[in-house]
Structure 1
């Protein structure tokens, strides 16, 4: 297998479409069929974030095979941190401006709103570890950084054989806190590195470190397993969200993050992609995969701006948010709007796609003066 796996590169951008669709709540609240469609899309999309963790762990193992793990982790940590800072620098002003607009419309004290928001944005634990102080969507980046840091520590102490079982143990606790709260009350946040990201990055690391090369002739079997676990995943979520609670799809949409079969679905899909490394090579998808991380960090600000515009239109007497047209437009507008913002940031020199994402005044000045 070559260094580049086109199937994984292709899946990056497809997974990002699913991530955006989760956050835009496609057709949610548009009657029974709208809620049912949203439930199916949301459930199907839950593989996306685990997929990104598995991919990161897989390539971390491959990159550290012939180089110092600590040195490489430091490099990766700097890159992830720069992407996180870039996402915060976009989201924070937009979210703050939105809070000001809403407070003005409601005649609330402006100083109090600004002070409250700035306090929320800079809460240390939420900002540096949980990644949800500004936007809950950005939690993935700190979780990935700390997950890779945990893996690196196992490498340094030569204890990687214990990596997967230990991370699985923490993830089981996370599952109780996320989807199986009816069994155990977990009194702390579990959507983080330790209880979620650590397991999936360890899973990817384990696959690569064991040099597992799924055979192409078995790809149909892996694809079949993916479809099977996808159906089981949908069924498990239906039981958790409706059968056990007595709720109906017409009343609400079950949107708990992850469950047991999420891991099976993600693993089978990833193995299938490894068995077909050239899948998507003749399409634009692998090159589009380069922009997945950029769309991820820019789409919270773009989505918030679009949703705020929808709210203001509703206040002005144009309730567009509950229309089918709005739902049809919101997801592609968020996706392509985020892509345009990311490309624009690169064009003006604020960031470097594939390089640092820390905004640089000097780089912007040099780009503008050309």
Structure 2
């Protein structure tokens, strides 16, 4: 199904659900993951792993839907990457302010300058690349990864290199798996680099969004999406358990093979525009989710006082998730009201 005008309610609704899943992964009480056995919290963490793949796939789909000829791909990619990197730079600065002020207060300005200099001297390529690709807070890695995926896709598709794009995306995904989830296996390798960053995961998801737009318009997206999401999640659980039992690898992974199919399936469900997702209460706040994603980690770190109010161990997790989400959403809403700050949240 192709959408040409306006926003898609089912996508905006799924954005909200994906944002809640991201917060679940980051909150300390809601997702206390056992890295050695599949308990309830670990399975909940696994369920939440569709979120970031969904964001990448949908970004690729919408990017493709706004490019009407091969000549459009590159300028559209440049525009997307500029917008994303502006948001990345702004929030990297915001997240750097608090720690920087703390270092100045505790250790002086000289210590802060020394810490900043350590990123480039003595030069360590892995540390420097990680700082560039991640920013000043872990979750911000999504933004430069998205920009890189858009630029690679635009550069290749503008030259008619669609097959090259798909092959490159698969190869980078394989390298990322070998250097992360499968690093303890005979098929992997160890590295200090986090292969979640950069194009290793983002490109295959982004290009899949492009492929859905290009080739999936006549497909029954809802049943295919349900099948892929269900099968992908089952494969994800099997993979994590198998790797753990065979090589002792912890059960917590940013992504594995099953995560690709899980995220792709959830994206196709959203793109089907099923009536079950056309919920105005959710879709109406979909446009604010990018800002909520960027800002939510501040509240993850600063609302732990909630445990003094909510003493029930079964309620603290859901309460924490709700409070963080509402505060992040409120921040995004307020910043979206002013022209000068709107570009940092939408």
The TM-score by the shorter chain falls in which range?
Answer: 0.7 to 0.9
Q: Which residue of 1 aligns with 2:210?
A: 205
Q: Which residue of 1 aligns with 2:272?
A: 275
Q: 1:179-202, CA deviations, whole angstroms, 9 ceiling, x for partnerless residues?
A: 111122143331222211111111
Q: Which residue of 1 aligns with 2:123?
A: none
Q: Indicate the RMSD between aligned Cα atoms, in angstroms.
A: 3.3
Separation in 1, partners of 2:297, 2:91: 8
Q: Which residue of 1 aligns with 2:168?
A: 166
Of the candidates 2, 25, 40, which is equivalent to residue 37 of structure 1?
40
Q: CA deviation at 1:264?
A: 1.4
Q: Which residue of 2 aligns with 1:5?
A: 8
Q: CA deviation at 1:115?
A: 3.4
More divergent stretch after superposition (259-268 vs 23-32): 23-32
Q: 1:85-117, CA deviations, whole angstroms, 9 ceiling, x for partnerless residues?
A: 23223211133345568xx5xxxx344653355
Q: CA deviation at 1:69?
A: 2.0
Of the candidates 145, 148, 151, which is equivalent to residue 147 of structure 2?
145
Q: Which residue of 2 aligns with 1:69?
A: 73
Q: Is the 8 A contact 1:12 1:292 kept in 2?
A: yes
Q: Which residue of 2 aligns with 1:340?
A: 330
Separation in 1, partners of 2:81, 2:157: 16
- Change in Cα spacing, 1:56 to 1:169, as seen in structure 2 (3 Å) is same
Q: Which residue of 1 aligns with 2:100?
A: 96
Separation in 2, partners of 1:227, 1:120: 45
- Change in Cα spacing, 1:304 to 1:9, as seen in structure 2 (3 Å) is same
Query: Secondary structure of the equivalent of 2:284?
Result: helix
- Change in Cα spacing, 1:24 to 1:274, as seen in structure 2 (3 Å) is same
Separation in 2, partners of 1:152, 1:225: 27
More divergent stretch after superposition (183-192 vs 37-46): 183-192
Separation in 1, partners of 2:51, 2:34: 26
Query: Secondary structure of the equivalent of 1:192?
Result: coil
- Change in Cα spacing, 1:345 to 1:261, as seen in structure 2 (3 Å) is same
Q: Is the 8 A contact 1:138 1:297 kept in 2?
A: yes
Q: Which residue of 1 aligns with 2:200?
A: 195
Tell me the number of residue pairs that the alignment of Structure 1 and Structure 2 aligns: 331
- Change in Cα spacing, 1:322 to 1:236, as seen in structure 2 (3 Å) is farther
Q: Which residue of 1 aligns with 2:179?
A: 177
Q: Is the 8 A contact 1:20 1:334 kept in 2?
A: yes
Separation in 2, partners of 1:30, 1:296: 21
- Change in Cα spacing, 1:324 to 1:211, as seen in structure 2 (3 Å) is closer
Q: Is the 8 A contact 1:22 1:45 kept in 2?
A: yes
- TM-score under structure 2 length normalisation: 0.83
Q: Is the 8 A contact 2:56 2:206 kept in 1?
A: yes
Separation in 2, partners of 1:268, 1:92: 36
Separation in 2, partners of 1:57, 1:73: 10
Q: Which residue of 1 aligns with 2:83?
A: 79
Separation in 2, partners of 1:167, 1:175: 12
Separation in 2, partners of 1:215, 1:189: 36
Q: Is the 8 A contact 1:146 1:193 kept in 2?
A: yes
Q: 1:141-176, CA deviations, whole angstroms, 9 ceiling, x for partnerless residues?
A: 001001100001102221112211221011011011
Q: Is the 8 A contact 2:30 2:320 kept in 1?
A: no
Instruction: For 1:250-289, list aligned pairs within 5 A.
Output: 254-289=251-286
Q: Is the 8 A contact 2:130 2:194 kept in 1?
A: no
Q: Which residue of 1 aligns with 2:62?
A: 59
- TM-score under structure 1 length normalisation: 0.78
More divergent stretch after superposition (83-92 vs 138-147): 83-92
Q: Is the 8 A contact 2:170 2:204 kept in 1?
A: yes
Q: CA deviation at 1:341?
A: 1.8
Q: Which runs of 5+ in 1 are unaligned?
A: 248-252, 359-370
Q: Which runs of 5+ in 2 are unaligned?
A: 121-126
Q: Which residue of 2 aligns with 1:114?
A: 112
